[in-house]
Structure 1
């Protein structure tokens, strides 16, 4: 074969690799987004980290061994990107300490099915006082700046952050207990 027949084949392999990458990315992105949402304060942060992780994964896709777990590989890239992002936003009062990050990351990778957690989360949210539930859901909505919500509530930022932390803790406690009761 001469060089002219080799060129289209190399381009064809590149196209196939791109298609393979996009298929794998689309298949595993929802799981990575859910994982990152447990680590990052807003959906905007999740979008930013997923975008960056996707670019890095694309650049390194030639190093990925076909037949191995793309989801785990992509999740690892996303986790490191989340840590970088966390360092950039470290001055925000809602950033967790490193040990909490590690615990959240470990719990997020466990085999517990996401629908079970969501079912219990919905039940616990329904049990909350409507005003508290509305505030908690509002601060977790896309594009919401918690500082603005604090000002609207008439509380100081610090008092508002503490109130949100207490609401989150009670919600996590409720979900944990509810799952524990179901598994018992």
Structure 2
């Protein structure tokens, strides 16, 4: 059997963990769209995580981790449905397959939108970017952000509306430039 040198093996582990960590929210969202409750999604995602780790030897650092993980998640959801099949509140596997396919397509589009938003957000001058991000922080009072901007609350909301509109237009341009997949 071919033995991978220790440093290379550790680097593959690091890459796997980085990929898993960065894609876990998307895989969780994928599973969540296919099962009825958050607790069910947590149970399925735990099983998906175990299978991903068990299949570590199949992990390709240059591959599409999200697609790989969502493929495993799809099978785990179907197995969960089979096990819960007697429950009247569970969707049948054909409906779940249809939802899974649509969910993967939507996930891909959402990822493109997220990347376009990041690109457009970076084009905004840093002071305005800080104010914009500040308006969406948890437990923040919009009055405080407005005061920091030197605007009244009403003026800040108008500025915020203009910034959202500019971002939306930029995202539209970014997405229009991408080749169709």
Q: TM-score, normalised by structure 1?
A: 0.53
List gaps (5 residues or longer) in structure 2: 114-181
**Runs ≥4 in structure 1, deviation > 3 angstroms?**
none
Question: Root-mean-square deviation (CA), in Å?
Answer: 2.1
Partner of 1:97: 92
Partner of 1:50: 45
Partner of 1:87: 82
Secondary structure at 2:63's aligned position in 1?
coil
**1:113 lines up with 2:106 in the alignment:** no
Quote how far apart the aligned CAs of 1:14 are. 2.5
Quote how far apart the aligned CAs of 1:70 are. 0.8
Partner of 2:69: 74
Quote how far apart the aligned CAs of 1:91 are. 1.4
CA–CA separation in structure 2 for the residues paired with 1:33 and 1:60: 19
Quote how far apart the aligned CAs of 1:59 are. 1.6
CA–CA separation in structure 2 for the residues paired with 1:13 and 1:51: 27
CA–CA separation in structure 1 for the residues paired with 2:56 and 2:23: 14
List gaps (5 residues or longer) in structure 1: 1-6, 117-184
Quote how far apart the aligned CAs of 1:72 are. 0.3
Q: TM-score, normalised by structure 2?
A: 0.54
Deviation by residue 1:58-110 (Cα, 9 ceiling, x = unmatched): 12121223311011001101111111111111111111122211221121011
CA–CA separation in structure 2 for the residues paired with 1:23 and 1:43: 24
CA–CA separation in structure 1 for the residues paired with 2:8 and 2:110: 36
Quote how far apart the aligned CAs of 1:47 are. 1.0
Quote how far apart the aligned CAs of 1:113 are. 2.6
Across the two proteins, how many residue pairs are aligned to each other? Answer: 108
Quote how far apart the aligned CAs of 1:28 are. 0.7
CA–CA separation in structure 2 for the residues paired with 1:95 and 1:89: 7
CA–CA separation in structure 1 for the residues paired with 2:98 and 2:21: 27
